[in-house]
């Protein structure tokens, strides 16, 4: 067996011997000359296949949604709450108090010391403080709140009695009443008693100016033989209303004026756009109102203005005023829901977006009871959960044209090409397959740290993206391929080696935008992008 194994080794040796003889007799390997090795290596660097959602969602905020109609036409839809008012912002009952000191007269003091006794008995009104003060309150039911009743004995006699709110009833519809008893009460000590107003109802008497709360008190005084009554202060009583939360309130609240500060809606899609024209064929703005206040309101949007922060250009929307609301019809009923729609027919809404605004400003003015008090038998009402919500729903069908939309971004970047002697040059290839009706030209300028230009990517801005072929209906019928080659050789690399910043500029135009051709953005558009590189090697073979 050993011999057989050796045969294998002999075989290998013979092969080697034969071939080595051939080679060694044939060449002087040290003197061989070689051509330079010049391989061309192609590598894909970056790819992407965008659809319209990828592109627009990347620039939009959450309240900017893409919607698509039954034909596939895309629209930007901005939804949000413009303004919102609640009961607290219209009407409130602040903390308030009422106090009164009762004095003995000389007759009363004599009668007391003679053990004949005396009494205080009266009915008094004190005004309910309410904001606005001229509001007429028919009824107010409290969701929460406190009534604090207190009394302080000033003269050391025997007091006994009670205090009753004639127009404030508890949950059982019983007038609210507090008792007074000096037995065991130290002189000068304030005795308090608190009542929870939850569920209590106040029905003040409106005297044409104020809403009066009526108190009735009755206090009998008997003699303390250790004390001599004098004609002076005898007892102090007080009432505090605090922490009032209204469950609902009825009455007539007057012509309240509601003015908001200027608010804004941000249009993020235009964030990086410096300049250009963005014209839509149509646009729709819906103001959606949900009103659960039981009172009529007229309101209007004021100063609706789009504003381009870069250019200062602004467009003001001509908006109808005095949009009327009737108010919720019945207490406990359903809120009033109204939508006010605006389009090309009643506003210049399409102009609003023309300057590629980043923000649109709004302000709201509203007036309640514009026609004065309600007819007899009717009243205003507001409940604790009443709201006046004004929402906005902007629908921008992407059908129009965009012209010379300029985007500029500056990036800090240090470019440092390593010395690769084996690389002769690198040819970058940008290839797009564009199914959008948009042409894009790009230029990149390389700056040093003093912001002086070093070089540019192209001699002139070059089309990276060519518009897809657009049919007469403004819809892209086929994609267009665009290829750009960018060669970086050693000279270019040297130029760029001190780069500190790059300025990326892009100009976007929809198809034939100079002629204001209308294009449509459909939901099946796609943009494929590929960036690849060919590395041209030049390697010396030794």
Partner 1 sequence: MKKYLIISLSIFFFTKGATAQINTNYLFSDEAPSMWNTNPASLGNEKVFVGLPVLSGIDANAVHNGFTYDDAITNDQVNIASTIEQLRDENDIMFNSSFQLLNFGFRLGQWHFRGGAQQVISTRITYPKSFMELAWKGNGHPDLIGRRLDFGGFAVNAMAYTDYFAGFSRQLMDEQLTVGANIHYLQGADVVYTEQSSFGLTTDADTYALTADGAFILRTTVDEDALDSISADHFTPFNGANSGFSFDLGAKYRFLEKFELQASAMNVGGIRWNRNAQSYTLANTSFTYNGVDLESLVDNPDSTTSQLEDVLDSLATSFEPVEGVGAFNAPSNARFYLGFGYEINKNNHLMLTAAHLRSFNKGFNSVAAMYRHRFGRILWVRTGAQLFQLDQFLWPVGLTINAGAVQFGFGTDNLIAAFAPTKAGVFTGHFQIGLRFGRDGKIKKE
| Per CB under 8 A, 413 contacts partner 1 | no
Least separation, in Å, of the C-beta of 520 and partner 1?
Answer: 25
The residues pairing with 439 across neighbouring beta strands, listed in sequence order, are 509
Tell me how far apart the alpha carbons of residues 327 and 321 are, in angstroms, rounded to a whole number.
18
Q: How far apart are CA 500 and CA 449, in angstroms?
A: 5
Q: Is 409 an interacting residue with respect to partner 1 (CB under 8 A)?
A: no
Rounded to the nearest whole angstrom, what is the least distance from the CB of residue 468 to partner 1 in the complex? Answer: 17
14 or 331: whose CB is closer to partner 1? 14
Task: Supply the minimum distance, in Å, between the C-beta of residue 527 and partner 1.
Answer: 11
Binding status of residue 540 toward partner 1 by CB under 8 A: no
In the complex with partner 1, the residue whose CB is nearer, 48 or 259, is 48
User: Which secondary structure element, helix H or strand E, spans residue 8, and what is its range?
Assistant: helix 2-26
Per-residue mark of binding to partner 1, 428-467 (x: CB under 8 A): -x-x------------------------------------
User: Judged by CB under 8 A, which stretch of 288-296, 443-451, 518-526, 527-535 contacts partner 1?
Assistant: 527-535
Q: Tell me 477's DSSP state.
A: E
| Per-residue binding letters, 26-45, with partner 1 (x by CB under 8 A) | xxxxxxxxxx-x-xxxxxxx
Q: Can you read off the two tokens belonging to residue 79? A: 């939804």
Calculate the CA 539 to chain-centre distance.
Answer: 60
Closest CB to partner 1 among residues 6, 341: 6
The answer to whether residue 410 forms part of the interface with partner 1 (CB under 8 A) is: no
Among 483, 487, 489, 538, binds partner 1 (CB under 8 A): 483
For residues 352-386, one letter each, b for 16 or more C-beta atoms within 10 angstroms of the residue's C-beta and e for the rest, the string is bbbbbbbbbbbbbbbbbbeeeebeeeebbbbbbeb
Q: Which two tokens stand for residue 92?
A: 């409130």
* Least distance CB 368 / partner 1 (angstroms): 50
Q: How many CB atoms lie within 10 A of CB 87?
A: 21
Count residues near partner 1 (CB under 8 A). 57
175 contributes a contact to partner 1 by CB under 8 A: no
φ, ψ for residue 125, nearest 5 deg = -110, 140
- Our CB check for partner 1 shows the closer of 40 and 491 to be 40
Q: Which residue from 131, 86, 92, 90 is spatially nearest to 390, judged by alpha carbons?
A: 86
Q: What DSSP designation does 92 have?
A: B
**Pair of tokens at residue 526:** 């796609």
Beta strand residue intervals within 154-283, DSSP E: 158-169, 175-181, 190-196, 201-202, 205-206, 211-222, 233-252, 257-259, 263-266, 273-280
Least separation in angstroms between CB 479 and partner 1: 13
Distance in Å, CB of 78 to partner 1, minimum: 24
Q: What is the DSSP letter of 360?
A: E
Using the minimum distance from each CB to partner 1, give the nearer residue, 24 or 187. 24
Does residue 535 touch partner 1 according to CB under 8 A? yes
CB of 481 to partner 1, least distance (A): 8
- Tell me how far, at minimum, the Cβ of 278 lies from partner 1, in Å: 23
Assigned token pair, 465: 């993206």
Q: Is 53 in the site for partner 1 (CB under 8 A)?
A: no
Total residue length of the chain: 542
Q: How far is CA 67 from CA 191, 278, 279, 281, 340, in A?
A: 67, 19, 19, 17, 21
Map the footprint of partner 1 across residues 147-166, applying CB under 8 A.
none
Q: Please report how close the Cβ of residue 10 comes to partner 1 at its closest, in angstroms.
A: 8
Interacting residues with partner 1 between 493 and 522 (CB under 8 A): none
For CA atoms 328, 329, 331, 332, give the dihedral sign. Answer: negative
Bond prior to 132 in cis (omega within 30° of 0):
yes
Of 53 and 262, nearer to partner 1 (C-beta) is: 53
Instruction: Tell me which stretch binds partner 1 (CB under 8 A): 5-13, 190-198, 284-292, 375-383.
Output: 5-13
CB of 66 to partner 1, least distance (A): 17
Are 283 and 395 contacting, i.e. CB atoms less than 8 angstroms apart? yes
Report, in Å, the least distance between residue 29 CB and partner 1: 5
Choices 3-11, 124-132, 220-228, 296-304 (CB under 8 A): range interacting with partner 1: 3-11
Using CA atoms, how far residue 110 sits from 113, 156, 225, in Å, is 5, 14, 12
Residue of the chain from 148, 359, 415, 531 that contacts partner 1 (CB under 8 A): 531
User: Tokens 């192609």 correspond to what residue?
Assistant: 42
Determine the Cα–Cα distance for residues 296 and 280; give it in Å rounded to an integer: 36
Looking at the Cβ atoms of 13 and 187, the one nearer to partner 1 is: 13
Closest CB to partner 1 among residues 504, 531: 531
13 binds partner 1 (CB under 8 A): no
Binding-residue pattern over the window 58 to 87 for partner 1, x denoting contact by CB under 8 A: x-----------------------------
Catalog residues that contact partner 1 under the rule CB under 8 A: 1-5, 7-8, 11, 14-16, 18-35, 37, 39-48, 50, 54, 58, 429, 431, 481, 483, 529-535, 537, 541-542
């Amino acid at each position: 067996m050993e011999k057989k194994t050796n045969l294998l080794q002999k075989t290998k040796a013979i092969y080697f011997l034969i071939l080595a003889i051939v080679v060694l007799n044939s060449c002087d390997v040290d003197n061989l000359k070689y051509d330079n090795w010049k391989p061309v290596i192609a590598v894909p660097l970056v790819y992407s296949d965008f659809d319209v959602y990828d592109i627009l969602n990347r620039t939009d905020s959450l309240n900017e949604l893409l919607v698509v109609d039954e034909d596939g036409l895309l629209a930007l839809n901005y939804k949000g709450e413009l303004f919102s008012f609640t009961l607290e912002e219209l009407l409130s009952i602040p903390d308030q108090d009422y106090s009164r000191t009762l004095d003995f007269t000389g007759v009363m003091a004599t009668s007391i010391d003679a053990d004949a006794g005396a009494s205080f008995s009266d009915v008094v009104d004190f005004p309910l403080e309410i904001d606005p003060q001229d509001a007429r309150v028919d009824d107010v039911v409290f969701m929460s709140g406190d009534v604090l009743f207190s009394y302080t004995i000033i003269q050391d006699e025997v007091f006994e009695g009670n205090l009753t709110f004639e127009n404030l009833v508890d949950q059982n519809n019983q007038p609210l009443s507090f008792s007074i008893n000096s037995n065991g009460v130290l002189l000068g000590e304030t005795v308090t008693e608190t009542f929870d107003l939850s569920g209590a109802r106040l029905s003040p008497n409106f005297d044409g100016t104020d809403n009066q709360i009526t108190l009735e008190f009755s206090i009998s005084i008997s003699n303390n033989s250790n004390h001599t009554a004098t004609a002076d202060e005898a007892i102090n009583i007080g009432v505090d209303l605090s922490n009032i939360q209204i469950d609902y309130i009825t009455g007539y609240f007057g012509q309240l004026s509601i003015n908001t500060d200027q608010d804004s809606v941000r249009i993020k899609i235009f964030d990086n756009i410096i300049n250009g024209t963005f014209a839509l064929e149509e646009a729709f703005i819906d103001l959606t109102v949900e009103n659960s206040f039981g009172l009529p309101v007229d309101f209007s949007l004021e100063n609706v203005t789009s504003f381009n922060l870069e250019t200062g250009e602004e467009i003001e929307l001509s908006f109808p005023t005095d949009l009327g609301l009737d108010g919720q019809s019945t207490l406990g009923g359903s809120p009033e829901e109204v939508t006010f729609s605006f389009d090309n027919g009643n506003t210049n809404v399409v102009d609003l977006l023309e300057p590629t605004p980043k923000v649109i400003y709004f302000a709201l003015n509203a007036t309640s009871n514009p026609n004065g008090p309600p007819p007899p038998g009717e009243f205003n009402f507001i409940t604790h959960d009443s709201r006046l919500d004004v929402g906005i729903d902007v629908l921008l069908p992407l059908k129009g044209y965009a012209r010379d939309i300029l985007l500029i971004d500056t990036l800090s970047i240090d470019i440092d090409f390593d010395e690769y002697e084996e690389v002769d040059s690198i040819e970058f290839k940008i290839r797009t397959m564009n199914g959008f009706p948009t042409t894009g030209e790009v230029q990149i300028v390389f700056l040093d740290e003093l912001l002086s230009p070093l070089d540019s990517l192209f001699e002139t801005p070059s089309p990276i993206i060519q518009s897809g072929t657009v049919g007469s209906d403004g819809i892209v019928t086929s994609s267009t391929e665009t290829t750009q080659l960018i060669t970086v050789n050693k000279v270019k690399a040297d130029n760029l080696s001190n780069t500190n910043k790059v300025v990326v500029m892009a100009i976007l135009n929809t198809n034939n935008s100079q002629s204001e051709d209308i294009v449509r953005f459909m939901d099946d558009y796609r943009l494929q992008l590929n960036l690849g590189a060919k590395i041209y090697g030049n390697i010396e073979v030794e």
